[in-house]
Amino acid sequence: MGILNLTPDSFSDGGRYASPRIAIDRAKRLVDEGADILDIGGESTRPGATPVSADEELRRIMPVLESLSAIIAVPVSVDTYKPKVMRAAIDAGASMINDVNALEAEGATEAVAKSDVAVCLMHKCGTPQTMQIDPQYDDVVAEVKTYLKHRIEVVASAGIASERIVIDPGFGFAKNTAHNLALLKHLDELKSLGVAVLAGLSRKSVLGKITQRKVHDRLYPSLAAALIAVAKGANIVRVHDVGATRDALDVYNSVEDA
């Protein structure tokens, strides 16, 4: 899954793809480099980010989404937690809703259930403003798993079949370094929930903490994290550096298939 942030303030690529033309060129490049899914987002969810209105989010994503649906062969996912944005995105041809709020907003489950699109349910606690203030868990792996199991049950009972559901432990969302590492080490424990697993570690601060690298110098740690995630059962890795990740996964998959 290649990331395309249409935001002025995302932590690693904020402001780079602000014009629709530049964003569409970037999307084509991500597909050429081997992305199987594009994930476009109009609001940063990094720690400390300021929320934007649904209308502002729509203003950022809709011109790009409408163009991409016509010219891009791969499915387009929209990273949003707002039902109004979900409905418009689905009408404009999105194939997946990627919700860092796991469809908890009022009306979000219904917006997705009425359609046939896929959904990613991610774990986090609190809001981007508060989530990194001393996050606490007794057993982070068990607690994240219990939360995701519950969310799967809730959305399944609203009519969203398990083949449409993807889960994500939410690396960097209300987690310290030890929490992130435990979740990656035990990512395979989420497989028993019976749905696809997504991991998003690309350029995240946990990799900076381990390597002391700044955000734009985290390609190698991001590749290592993507490979570990796939080895632990991730079906989708959400990444900024698609070409390099594709190469790394080609080697991994060739060994698996040998």
Q: Quick one: which of 2, 5, 131, 151 contacts ligand HH2 (CB under 6 A)? A: 5
Question: Amino acid letter at 44?
Answer: S
* Cβ(201)–Cβ(240) below 8 Å: no
- Scanning the chain, the segments in alpha helix (DSSP H) are 20-32, 54-71, 83-91, 108-113, 140-157, 177-185, 205-211, 219-231, 242-257
145 contributes a contact to ligand HH2 by CB under 6 A: no
Helices 242-257 and 219-231 sit at what angle, rounded to 10 degrees? 30
Nearer to ligand HH2, 164 or 238 (CB): 238
CB of 257 to ligand HH2, least distance (A): 27
Q: Does 176 bind ligand HH2 (CB under 6 A)?
A: no
Residue nearest to ligand HH2 (CB): 200
Q: Which of 141, 144, 176, 166 is nearest to 47 (CA)?
A: 176
Helix (H) or strand (E) holding 40: strand 38-41
Minimum distance, C-beta of residue 48 to ligand HH2, in the bound complex (Å):
10
Structure token pair of residue 34:
């081997």
Question: Which residue number, 70 or 133, has a Cβ lying nearer to ligand HH2?
Answer: 133
Q: How far is the CB of 195 from ligand HH2 (least distance, A)?
A: 13
Please give the distance of CA 213 from its chain centroid, rounded to a whole number: 22
Shortest approach of ligand HH2 to residue 219 CB, angstroms? 14
x/- mask, ligand HH2, residues 69-88, rule CB under 6 A, reads ----------x---------
Interactions with ligand HH2, residue window 236-255 (CB under 6 A): 238
Active-site amino acid positions: 204, 238
Within the chain, what is the greatest distance between any pair of CA atoms?
50
Per-residue contact string for residues 188-207; x = within reach of ligand HH2 by CB under 6 A: ----------x-x-------
Rounded to whole angstroms, the Cα distance separating 37 from 56 reads 24
Binding site for ligand HH2 (CB under 6 A): 3, 5, 7, 10-12, 41, 44-46, 79, 98, 100, 120, 122, 168, 170-171, 198, 200, 238
